[in-house]
Structure 1
Amino acid sequence: MQRRRFIRNAGIAAAAGTAFGAAGLYAIQPRRTVLPYAADNNAELPMAPAENKRVVVVGGGLAGMAAAYELLKRGFQVTLVERADNLGGRLTGWNVDVNGETMAMEHGFHGFFNQYYNLNGLLDEMGLRGNFKPVLDYPVIFKDPAKGTESFTNTTTLFPFNLFAVVNQAKSVSILDFNNPFGKLYELMRYDPERTFAKFDDIDFKTFCERVNQPMVDTIIEPFAHTSFNQFDQYSAAEGMKFFHFFFLGNPDGMGYDQTIDDAMTSVVTPMTQQLSELGGRVITGVEADRLVAGEGGVRKLVMKRPGDILDGPHSVPAADIGTQWTPFWQGANLYYAKREADGGYRALSGRCTHMGCPVGLDAATGGFACPCHGAKYDAEGKPTEGPTVVPLVALDAVADASEQVTFQPRAEHKTPELEADYFVLACDVPGLQGIVARSELPQRGFVQSVAGLGVADPYIVWRLWLDRECPPMAVPFYTVSGWRYTDSIAIYSQMQPEYEDWARRHRGSVLELHAYAVEPENVIDEAEIKRIMRAELDELIPQLKGAKVLYDVYAMQQNFPRWAPGDYQDRPGIETQVPNLFLAGDFVRLEVPANLMEAATMTGRIAANRILAAEGLRENPIPTVDLEGPLVL
């Protein structure tokens, strides 16, 4: 029976159960598939290059590690450059001193979903799947007491019965929400890369959903859309439909996911880094990519610098503006700190954190500096005292002239290392990519403009708290929540990871992590006030913890997830660029294939490696994906 007739007929429940029949149901089931290869005779092509080929990969997150791994396996000479002290990107971690005890800290909780085919395949191949355990449910806690806690665990992956399972489990959603086969709700089931983006990319997701029944929006669509780290009313409707297709409607494996047994560094990043080195890869950490240098046929070399260094040329300020305490000065995106010494001379430091390049602020409590992104702290001399970095803030020359101006500039003895290669993969985050491309003076103006047009979503917050009171046993260690001003999810680490379970037992306490996925501009207020509000929200969510004392905490507000705003898609750069030997990888690139978050990062890294393999006439690796189209595409 034709799908058009299925839509035209009565309710989806009756159609699925009777009119459609077994053959019709089989025809519309989402299926795992594999992307096509560049060459029809891919299986006959050689595996390794005939001569030595060099590749530089910039960015040590999942995209960069995946690209490096695939190319190292094939005999390429790969150098992976990462500005932080460890690889991992948003999976990286560091140690914190919790009142005398060293504990592992990370960027936040991550779920490894069943349909992360490329990421899970990479973990399988590296022998790391034993470092994970399944999470048995995906619950959402609503502020509205009429909704309470909704469970979105599927009893089946068979479409459309997976939808019925959600409706059956959701107290506020009815089968009547499916009563208009031609309404917007059904558009979610008709995802098609070309048609969907042509028709819906210029519309924000909130506007798109105005013609969807409100209970369905409030209970299912908006809470899940928020996990894209974009505001509902600033999120492309086409990107939102792609998101739902990938995570639910086009996914044959359901909503199940795994979590790491230990912290992400122990379970994933450290063993992956070791295997890259064992394959012959050169891993350079604590060095920042500054710019690419173009040559005949594309990019010729990468120029690097010390993390946090500023190489944009001298910057002068009036000497009268510099006091005896550290004073901040901005020059465009560059931040400097300067002060006048007792002998009348001047000192200056770069204001860029040596971990990930975030601008540091003055720390009133210590007289030093603090990074708001990942908790790095420095003393009054710029030496690190806490957090993920071990590199001091970069010292600059500060020279006064006869006109009473003080000029800041890099130290003369500083050398900028360079790497030459045949291919380059930029797998950094959006701010890092934009900085590199802007400084590179590439002749391909279209590519430069497309990178400049990228954006980052609103800031997000990760706040981990060590409390002096035990948390009551929870059904699962992670909850999405909906309806509060800041808090979007809670992870109960003291019921998740052995190290934290042990701490909780010994101290009769608990460790929880609160996330705010996309903080609106009007809610970016004083840190102390945000903490006060989020703590009150935690007390509402888990009343048994009300009044518990905070023994230690790590608070970070970051802004590095990609923006998916209406109209962004058309000019968004893809994996291949106008520069013949330059490729991009990361969760921000234009990707017609339905994938998001960690899977998009891993997939684009593997596709970038495939593009290099194809350029050398070598066999490409298979790239698995969820179904490329929605179940109701005709």
Structure 2
Amino acid sequence: MKRPARPGRDRRAVHHPGPSGAERLTGEAKVVVVGGGIAGLSAATILAERGVRVTLVEASPRLGGRVAAWPLEDGRTMSRGFHAFFRQYYNLRAVLGRPDPDLARLIPIRDYPLQRPDGMRDSFNNIPRTPPFSVMGFVARSPSFTLASLAKVDVPAALELLRVRFPDTYSHYDGESAAAFLDRLRFPADARDLALEVFARSFFADPNDFAAGELVAMFHTYFMGSAEGLLFDVPDDDYDTALWQPLGHYLARLGVEVRTGVRVSTIGPAGARTDHGELIEADAVVLATDPRAARSLVAGIGDPSGPMDAFTRRVAETVNAPPFAVVRLWLDALVAPQRPAFLGTSGYGALDNVSVLERFEAGAAAWSRTHGGSVVELHAYACDPDVLGNEGSTDRLVQHLTSELHRVFPETAHMGTLHSEVLVQDDCTLITPSPWNDRPGVETPASWLVLAGDWVRSDYPVALMERAATTGILAANALLQRWGVQGEGLWTVPTRGLLAR
């Protein structure tokens, strides 16, 4: 079989063939996909392309899950926060490429600096993309590294980053938190703040509660094991307009029944039942919800058999990350032109990044031209309860994040706010230092049920949106293999580090 063309520039990228079989389903099979986020959309795409009758059910009014966007007044939009579409997201980009083969709706961000209040700033622009020159170039240019601080680095621990082997690396760090690994690494404090903890928190977690294996995998995936580099793309408009509406139309053309605003209350061998008592009959279920909803649905299966009982306990032991917050401000003046479109921050309280949306979103740019102001988004990944304030009120949160914005972009202190939107959610997953192999995987003891989502274990070095897409494809492949149908091949960054034996 001819090896498929590489999806990026990394010559060491690895192709993982899907199951072999017939090109399309010869009989009839029905699948209900519960969850219309990236994982569910990916599973539905692969299944429908092979002739499976798919019903996709999403509780919210729109597709996209945790990368959703929705309209407001006056043409404005709101979302659940900034997401970076890295070039390493081979499988997600393949799904997005179904309605947009050239990925024309994704545009590059030139740079995304990381900044501290003392003025120290790291940049990923103009750094070589191919390991190990990427690491050498970053260290040489970064003010976070000095000869004195580099001398203190624990060399054996640092070499672990170059000796990864997946999936073994995930379980190698069982019981160790990301913070404990950083302590053992003895990286310079400045580098830890700017280059390490910022990325750890992008998993919506405090480094003390986050798995070291995930952190090590992240460094391999984004920096030390991939030649795609650390720059990324973003949609040229809000997520719904640029990504999910086109993909929804593509699924409809394949015959997928997309049902939004419908909540599933129970799942079983006969399919899924909605809150209104309707049974959506199916031969199999792809459970692709957020972890809290998945725990509830799995707990309701009610199968006391040994394998299912152990599986139910594994799902029940998954946990959610602390709440995250998104504050979007429509200001009455423009931020300074030298401000980057996206800025990561460390040391600014709960504020983790600032986005200037008119720099890349068409809708925000149109509003900016009409009103002469900037659309600025503030994102806090893992909020402290003291910052959130009283339940039901977001005043303290908005005041805190806005005051930090004034420190980051001082000119905004003199601007008025024409509109503001606030979102606080706690439906993201927390990947703790608990044993990796105890986490639920795609396949389950029930032949009719498979799992998908960024909370689901995958042996590949993938994370966040790419893990959601990858597990969605793997879930579809698992069902297709049972029906003798050819599955979808996957691509990942190299599964071994540069120094792995």
SS in 2 for 1:466: strand
**2:187 pairs with 1:206:** no
Q: Which amino acid aligns with 1:578?
A: P
1:272-351 matches, cutoff 5 A = 272-293=247-268, 299-305=269-275
Give the alignment partner of residue 514 of structure 1, picking from 368, 374, 378: 378
Q: Which amino acid aligns with 2:293?
A: G
Task: Report the CA distance shift for 1:37/1:178 in structure 2 as closer, same or farther (over 3 A).
Answer: farther
CA deviation string 1:582-622 (max 9, x = no partner): 10001000111111111111111111111111111121211
Q: Which amino acid aligns with 1:223?
A: V
Alpha-carbon separation, structure 1, partners of 2:416 and 2:342: 22
Alpha-carbon separation, structure 2, partners of 1:178 and 1:545: 37
CA deviation string 1:319-340 (max 9, x = no partner): xxxxxxxxxxxxxxxxxxxxxx
Contact 2:43–2:473 (CA<8 Å) still a contact in 1? yes
Alpha-carbon separation, structure 2, partners of 1:117 and 1:583: 22
Task: Report the CA distance shift for 1:589/1:70 in structure 2 as closer, same or farther (over 3 A).
Answer: same
What residue number does 2:80 align with? 107
Offset at residue 177 of structure 1 (A)? 5.6
SS in 2 for 1:546: helix
Alpha-carbon separation, structure 1, partners of 2:379 and 2:79: 13
Contact 2:115–2:194 (CA<8 Å) still a contact in 1? no
**2:249 pairs with 1:416:** no
**2:59 pairs with 1:93:** no
Contact 2:29–2:283 (CA<8 Å) still a contact in 1? yes
Contact 1:482–1:488 (CA<8 Å) still a contact in 2? yes
Alpha-carbon separation, structure 1, partners of 2:216 and 2:149: 18
SS in 2 for 1:46: coil
1:407-486 matches, cutoff 5 A = 415-443=276-304, 444-474=308-338, 476-486=340-350
Contact 1:201–1:239 (CA<8 Å) still a contact in 2? no
Contact 1:30–1:626 (CA<8 Å) still a contact in 2? no
CA deviation string 1:555-588 (max 9, x = no partner): 0111111111111523210000111121000100
Offset at residue 58 of structure 1 (A)? 0.4
The size of the alignment, in residue pairs, is 482
Q: Which amino acid aligns with 1:300?
A: A
The alignment's TM-score, normalised by the length of structure 1, stands at 0.73
SS in 2 for 1:448: helix
Offset at residue 268 of structure 1 (A)? 0.3
Offset at residue 136 of structure 1 (A)? 0.9
SS in 1 for 2:407: helix
Offset at residue 178 of structure 1 (A)? 5.5
SS in 2 for 1:193: coil
1:508-587 matches, cutoff 5 A = 508-526=372-390, 527-587=394-454
Offset at residue 214 of structure 1 (A)? 2.4
Alpha-carbon separation, structure 2, partners of 1:541 and 1:262: 25
Contact 1:30–1:631 (CA<8 Å) still a contact in 2? no
CA deviation string 1:194-237 (max 9, x = no partner): 54333312011111111322243223111221111110111111
Contact 2:171–2:436 (CA<8 Å) still a contact in 1? no
Structure 1 ranges of 4+ moved more than 3 A: 174-182, 521-524
What residue number does 1:613 align with? 480
Give the alignment partner of residue 31 of structure 1, picking from 1, 9, 12: 12
SS in 1 for 2:433: coil
Offset at residue 75 of structure 1 (A)? 0.5
1:354-433 matches, cutoff 5 A = 415-433=276-294
Is 50-59 or 442-451 further displaced after alignment? 442-451
What residue number does 2:7 align with? none
Q: Which amino acid aligns with 1:193?
A: F
Q: Which amino acid aligns with 2:426?
A: Q
Q: Which amino acid aligns with 2:337?
A: P
The structure with the larger Rg is: 1
Alpha-carbon separation, structure 2, partners of 1:236 and 1:497: 34
SS in 1 for 2:419: strand
Q: Which amino acid aligns with 2:196?
A: I
1:614-629 matches, cutoff 5 A = 614-629=481-496
Q: Which amino acid aligns with 1:274?
A: H
What residue number does 1:217 align with? 192
Give the alignment partner of residue 49 of structure 1, picking from 9, 12, 25: 25
Alpha-carbon separation, structure 1, partners of 2:422 and 2:271: 38
Alpha-carbon separation, structure 2, partners of 1:51 and 1:593: 32
Alpha-carbon separation, structure 2, partners of 1:497 and 1:612: 38
Alpha-carbon separation, structure 1, partners of 2:147 and 2:500: 21
SS in 1 for 2:270: strand
Task: Report the CA distance shift for 1:427/1:531 in structure 2 as closer, same or farther (over 3 A).
Answer: same
Alpha-carbon separation, structure 2, partners of 1:633 and 1:177: 26
Alpha-carbon separation, structure 1, partners of 2:425 and 2:270: 33
Is 257-266 or 104-113 further displaced after alignment? 104-113
**2:240 pairs with 1:265:** yes
Contact 1:184–1:209 (CA<8 Å) still a contact in 2? no
What residue number does 1:354 align with? none
Alpha-carbon separation, structure 1, partners of 2:104 and 2:172: 43
Task: Report the CA distance shift for 1:246/1:175 in structure 2 as closer, same or farther (over 3 A).
Answer: farther
Contact 1:154–1:255 (CA<8 Å) still a contact in 2? no
Offset at residue 138 of structure 1 (A)? 2.3
SS in 2 for 1:228: coil
Q: Which amino acid aligns with 1:580?
A: S
CA RMSD of aligned residues (A): 1.8
Contact 2:167–2:460 (CA<8 Å) still a contact in 1? no
Contact 2:352–2:379 (CA<8 Å) still a contact in 1? yes
SS in 2 for 1:130: coil
Task: Report the CA distance shift for 1:201/1:30 in structure 2 as closer, same or farther (over 3 A).
Answer: farther
Alpha-carbon separation, structure 2, partners of 1:241 and 1:595: 11
Give the alignment partner of residue 118 of structure 2, picking from 144, 162, 169: 144
Task: Report the CA distance shift for 1:37/1:120 in structure 2 as closer, same or farther (over 3 A).
Answer: closer
Alpha-carbon separation, structure 2, partners of 1:449 and 1:171: 47
Offset at residue 184 of structure 1 (A)? 1.6
Q: Which has the higher contact order (CA 8 A, sep 6+)?
A: 2
Contact 2:130–2:226 (CA<8 Å) still a contact in 1? no
SS in 1 for 2:104: helix
SS in 2 for 1:137: coil
